[in-house]
Amino acid sequence: PPPELWASFRGRRLGGRELPLPPAYTGVVLRRGEPGEPPQGEPGDPEAGWVTVTGTFGAITDWGSDAAPAPGRGLARALQWAPLAQAV
């Protein structure tokens, strides 16, 4: 199992494990256009706007209160569904 990570948030101890994203998946960090900037799209379009990719990541940390989440449970288990969903 991945090594445990430890941190605190507002005085509470948190335990975590870094989980790699499934193969062929990449996480992205998006930034929404600032208010007042001209939106892209047709005038009057309620969906008009834009986002830009400001970063990427290949792993996510699963945090639990007072202890690191057990391997193969929670978020780790959810990430196992990605290859199955892609196959279907």
Q: Residue 23 has what pLDDT? A: 87
42's tokens: 């047709």
Q: Residue 80 has what pLDDT? A: 80
Q: What is the pLDDT of residues 35-87, one digit of tens each?
A: 666 655 556 555 556 778 899 999 999 888 888 888 777 788 888 887 777 78
Q: Can you give the pTM of this predicted structure?
A: 0.65
Q: Alpha carbon of 45 to those of 34, 40, 48, 50, 71: distances in Å?
A: 17, 9, 5, 12, 46
Q: What is the pLDDT of residues 3-38, one digit of tens each?
A: 888 999 999 999 999 999 988 889 999 887 766 666
d(CA 60, CA 47) in angstroms, rounded, equals 29
Phi and psi, residue 75, nearest 5°: -60, -40
Out of 2.40.30.10, 3.90.420.10, 3.20.20.20, 2.40.128.680, which CATH number does the structure's domain 5-40+56-86 have?
2.40.128.680
Q: Residue 27 has what pLDDT? A: 95
Q: Residue 13 has what pLDDT? A: 92
